[in-house]
Structure 1
């Protein structure tokens, strides 16, 4: 048969029922065949689908097979609520990353809840410094304006909220993409790192990383799981923060907010000057 079973098995392992996984296993030439450098078992572990994991293991899938920069299915399971028996262990740094994920996600409490927002997470820079770097003016914003802009952004396109948090600051716009624009991230990242993201309601989450004024990575997919990560640390970060895009950006930049006020009650509001911020 052709290779259709491979992609179908991998998809089912991550998203479908154990019954569908079992049916596809019966068609498989190799249950441990790799697709995008991972096996079907790895995908089931990553997606926290313990019933699918059990079906794959019963059919002979190898939990110890090395892949994804050292994250075998068994080792990855140690970063889930359904650990598999294994002699592999997590490092102190990896355990700390898991604890920080739990703390950070709880602190945000699901905020922001809707798509259409943008943010910039800047390491080592406070809100006042961000205001200066952007050559912006501080403005007063009312609750009524926020609600109006979330429906009709006209008049608020260049307005951002900014909040100092442990590790740096967060800039956000709940009604548009401005916080993630190249010109904003380039100015904010002078001498440091800035992670920007736009939660596009139509195209998914798109993220960029700027270091010292230049783009370092322009194809992040915050919260969308493990895609094309390049290191073991990147794999763990993407795994831990699937479905948590804002928390992913905060963690990537090393920010540790204690609550959700960066998105609900920012320290100050700023208005950017008239200029082209499409380019840094």
Structure 2
């Protein structure tokens, strides 16, 4: 039996798919409204099965109760769990209740892979701009494909080509034998040698500066030089701490400590909500899209690059581009 100190969910972790276990816990007094500081229905919406979602939805007081400002149905839609979303809607959850950025779960689903998830009432539709953004996201994610980007640093720059990026960085071409040595085992090279070698590639809409083994393209002194008169998004896929994003505009760092492709958050604008949903768990595509790059393949990220160049020795942790 559940005690005063036990909500009945001890040991369940993040796996909410075992219907028999969940029902047994509930029958023995597990609290359908609370789990480890959160709500079981929200966890099941993301990590559970439709059967578990339906069972929990039947037992809660309010199927549209909020956690961190959103409903369980919102979580199911954002997490691309259409069967769980259908189970919640069948239990009475409201697909058209507005949430972050003025979006509802139902309207957000119109931009995703299952636009027919709910019956759409009159007046609920995407704008032309939102539909175009959804179509471009599908195209860009497909063009990049499944690529290994852990440990990669990227600077996605709008409006300039590879040659202009090299000029702004005052970088110099790297000899083929040096590139071959670094590519063979970048971590075996001296840090000053490998860290200052980057690949640069022109793409539709601008260019990408890439380093598959390090953070050099995202150093403030690189981003600010590249962003003069334009905008640049930096991504470092840190193997230890996760994806780190930053924005530089017209020579200054505008925002940092971002989590590209990491999900939605309260206070986001309508455009930010849509982008976060469309590029969830796709940080490379998110970073390219942020500045309007329209890559047709993954070459600018993983190579072969248009140019291999070496950055000059300077203090790249200063933000000024002068």
- The alignment's TM-score, normalised by the length of structure 1, stands at 0.92
Residue 95 of structure 1, aligned match among 97, 110, 131 = 131
Q: Distance in 1 between matches of 2:80 and 2:53?
A: 15
Q: Distance in 2 between matches of 1:109 and 1:152?
A: 30
Residues 1:261 and 2:291 are matched in the alignment:
no
Q: Distance in 2 between matches of 1:268 and 1:229?
A: 40
Which residue matches 1:146? 183
Q: Distance in 2 between matches of 1:72 and 1:153?
A: 52
Q: Could you report, residue by residue, the CA deviation over 1:156-187 in whole angstroms, capped at 9, with x for unpaired residues? A: 11111111111111001000111111111111
Which residue matches 1:51? 83
In structure 2, stretches of 5+ residues that fail to align are 1-30
Q: Distance in 1 between matches of 2:160 and 2:211?
A: 18
Residue range with higher mean Cα deviation, 86-95 or 146-155: 146-155
Change (3 A) 1:114 1:129: closer
CA contact (8 A) 2:32 2:41 kept: no
**TM alignment of 1:100-115, pairs within 5 A:** 100-111=136-147, 113-115=148-150
Per-residue deviation, 1:92: 0.9
Per-residue deviation, 1:58: 1.8
Which residue matches 2:16? none
Which residue matches 2:241? 203
Residues 1:193 and 2:231 are matched in the alignment:
yes
Residues 1:36 and 2:68 are matched in the alignment:
yes
Aligned residues: 279
CA RMSD in angstroms comes to 2.0
Residues 1:116 and 2:116 are matched in the alignment:
no
Q: Distance in 1 between matches of 2:88 and 2:255?
A: 35
Which residue matches 1:75? 107
Per-residue deviation, 1:19: 3.3
Per-residue deviation, 1:27: 4.6
Q: Distance in 2 between matches of 1:153 and 1:244?
A: 31
Residues 1:136 and 2:171 are matched in the alignment:
yes
Per-residue deviation, 1:131: 1.1
Which residue matches 2:8? none
Change (3 A) 1:57 1:162: same
SS across alignment from 1:4:
coil
CA contact (8 A) 1:134 1:188 kept: yes
Per-residue deviation, 1:150: 5.8
CA contact (8 A) 2:173 2:307 kept: yes
In structure 1, stretches of 5+ residues that fail to align are none
Q: Distance in 2 between matches of 1:249 and 1:271?
A: 23
Change (3 A) 1:46 1:184: same
Q: Distance in 2 between matches of 1:135 and 1:232?
A: 39
CA contact (8 A) 2:32 2:39 kept: no
Change (3 A) 1:11 1:181: farther
SS across alignment from 1:56:
helix
Q: Could you report, residue by residue, the CA deviation over 1:113-141 in whole angstroms, capped at 9, with x for unpaired residues? A: 14111101011111111112112212134
Residue 126 of structure 1, aligned match among 161, 176, 179 = 161
- The alignment's TM-score, normalised by the length of structure 2, stands at 0.81
Change (3 A) 1:150 1:89: farther
